[in-house]
A and B are shown apart, each in its own frame.
Chain A
Amino acid sequence: MKTKPEDRIAYEKMLPGVLTAQGFLGNDIRPLAEIIMEDEQEFIRLGLDFEEVADRLDALKQAGEKGLGEPITVGELLVQTGDARGMLPCPWGDGLYHKNAISIQPADKPQEACVEGEDMLIFSDLSIHLLRVHHFCQGLGSPFRLDPVFLKHLIY
């Protein structure tokens, strides 16, 4: 499949060690365009809209910031925001985002029992932008993947 130059450059930036330790692709070997296309179809199947999900995650982030770095209960979820020094550029080169990590998990489960990817979701300002503008949920196996099925289950 022929990839546009911007997508190819973005793909190179998503590999482990370029922008983040694990990269954005996990162990997914599909081409970028295919990952995005299949996730777009999942979203349609589940009746989700990218803008709306991004807005919701943004709202959760803002509510979680009130905890100033410590977990805080928001509705039925436990949200914790964490920040680190530095900025992360979007792989497509259209923005710089603050390095933060917002984790959400069901409030009724004890924190230590929650497993990344199974009960807990981690995202950042950059993930929200990738979702909203590029419809990119990250590759299968990436610890920060915003899986559509899991998203629907957790935040709706």
Chain B
Amino acid sequence: MINAPDVGLLSLFLASILTSNVLLANFLGTCSFISISKDFKSSMGLGVAVTMVIGICSAICWAVLYFIIKPLGIEYLSFIIFIIVIAAVVQMLEMIIDRFSPGLYLALGIFLPLITVNCAVLGVILFMQIRNYNFMQAVIFGFGSGAGWWLAIMLLASIRKKLDNNNAVPAGLKGTGITLITIGFMAMAFIGFSGMIAVQ
């Protein structure tokens, strides 16, 4: 039925974090990445939230793709359906966070519902579709990409914390400017992993 690539689950997991990091190799999901990395605690919270969303959405969307979309032959509607699923999952996650951690809910503010339009989520799902992963691969890839996003935002938050107190940064580059340059350096550093595992 599915022409799944022959990739071990562990390699897939590691690859999605290191070599094809959704943020640093594919440059998806940078909006909230830049905004929330100002604050370390919120970055932690958002990282977990995004991992959950991507993981759960991958699983659900895989099921929807292979049990509803493909059988009915409505691939042309797949984007819309995926977005609907993502929006619903984010909504549920919002309610859960509000219930169990109101502090985090307020700290994330607008960025929690913004996960819906985070290209990382849709990007991972589309990769899963294009590469014909089977269910386990989709789930592992989903959680792995989320973990990669989480890792990237934690790294950037730590770097920004150090940069904040540094007066060597010229005034014109302070804030977003130096952050973008830093992300570029991080991306180049992660290229160093590319020899390790190849999945695409």
Number of interface residues of A (CB under 8 A): 2
Query: Does A5 sit within 8 A of B, measured CB to CB?
Result: yes
> How distant is B191 from chain A, measured CB to nearest CB, in Å?
30
Q: Which of B90-111 contact A (CB under 8 A)?
A: 109-111
**B111: A residues at CB distance < 8 A:** 5
A8 to B35, CA, bound (A): 15
> How distant is B96 from chain A, measured CB to nearest CB, in Å?
22
Complex: chain B residue closest to A2, CB-CB: B31
A5 to B38, CA, bound (A): 14
A 3-39 to B, binary, CB cutoff 8 A, 1 in contact else 0: 0010010000000000000000000000000000000
**B35: A residues at CB distance < 8 A:** 5
**A8: B residues at CB distance < 8 A:** 110
**A5: B residues at CB distance < 8 A:** 35, 109-111
A146 to B109, CA, bound (A): 32
A24 to B161, CA, bound (A): 35
Complex: chain A residue closest to B31, CB-CB: A2
Q: Which of B108-166 contact A (CB under 8 A)?
A: 109-111
A110 to B40, CA, bound (A): 58
> How distant is B35 from chain A, measured CB to nearest CB, in Å?
8
**B110: A residues at CB distance < 8 A:** 5, 8
Complex: chain A residue closest to B110, CB-CB: A5
A119 to B19, CA, bound (A): 67
A5 to B114, CA, bound (A): 12
> How distant is A11 from chain B, measured CB to nearest CB, in Å?
13
> How distant is A106 from chain B, measured CB to nearest CB, in Å?
39
A5 to B109, CA, bound (A): 8
Complex: chain A residue closest to B109, CB-CB: A5
A5 to B42, CA, bound (A): 15
A69 to B110, CA, bound (A): 43
> How distant is A61 from chain B, measured CB to nearest CB, in Å?
31
A5 to B35, CA, bound (A): 10
A139 to B111, CA, bound (A): 28
A 43-56 to B, binary, CB cutoff 8 A, 1 in contact else 0: 00000000000000
> How distant is B17 from chain A, measured CB to nearest CB, in Å?
29
A36 to B35, CA, bound (A): 22
A-contacting residues of B (Cβ < 8 Å)?
Answer: 35, 109-111
Q: Would you list the 5 A-B pairs with minimal beta carbon distance, nearest first?
A: A5-B110, A5-B109, A5-B111, A5-B35, A8-B110
List 5 A-B residue pairs with CB atoms under 8 Å apart, sorted by A's residue number: A5-B35, A5-B109, A5-B110, A5-B111, A8-B110
